[in-house]
Amino acid sequence: ETPIARPRRIFCIGVNYAHRNAEYKDGSDLPKYPSIFMRVAESFVGHGEALLQPLESKQLDYEGEIAIVIGRRARRVKGDDALACIAGLTCMNEGTIRDWVHHAKFNVTQGKNWNASGAIGPWIVTVDEFPQGYGALRVQTRVNGEPRQDDTTANLMFDFAYLVGYLSTFTTLEPGDIIATGTPIGAGIRFDPPKFLQPGDVVEVEVSGVGVLRNVVKAEEVNA
């Protein structure tokens, strides 16, 4: 199971790496504010558990990310006070059903909340294990050993302190809340043709100083 069983809230940040913003090739400037959406606990499994390719889609995609775990109640915090609210970090595969993302006009909820489409783990590494801070953490994603994503937090448009502070401006963050900090370039949808996950694929998300989250893709069974 996930390091935090049934987290109360999972906030996800979209398009937070500078190269990821450029990947859209639409000429847009860097965003002034982060894009945020929510996920439910049932959409994630733990380290070593199966990711499900659903019956309704063949477009299960990976998104390797660093996830923040909140350790204390936070409201309207900034800077060092925001960082002090972080309990630790973990790895996340913020898995997505790509065709269902486009079902809605204004949000991505349908494509981001399928049961067992993502994973969190394998554990939480506490803040004292990061004495140099969070400015140069590396996140990598591999599929069957093939490198797909690779970037560092030096390229985040909105760093950890900003994200905690921004979210805490409009909602009270509670211990156990999770913030997924965004994925680098290289998701399967961005290849030509796309490289969506298939049953039997092994997906690894590695974060420096944290570890490796590993999951195998399985085809969902009828009545599962």
Each domain of the chain, given as residue ranges in start order, spans 10-219
In this predicted structure, what is the pLDDT of residue 26? 63
Q: Which tens digit of pLDDT belongs to each residue from 7-41?
A: 999 999 999 998 876 666 666 678 899 999 999 99
pLDDT tens digits, one per residue of 100-120? 999 988 889 999 999 999 999
Phi, psi of 111 (to 5 degrees): -90, -5
Question: Quick one: average pLDDT of 187-201?
Answer: 98
CATH fourth-level superfamily of 10-219: Fumarylacetoacetase-like, C-terminal domain (3.90.850.10)
For the chain, give the percent of residues with pLDDT over 70.
96
pTM: 0.95
Strands (E), the chain: 10-14, 35-39, 44-45, 51-53, 60-61, 64-70, 86-93, 96-97, 118-126, 138-143, 146-152, 178-180, 202-207, 211-219
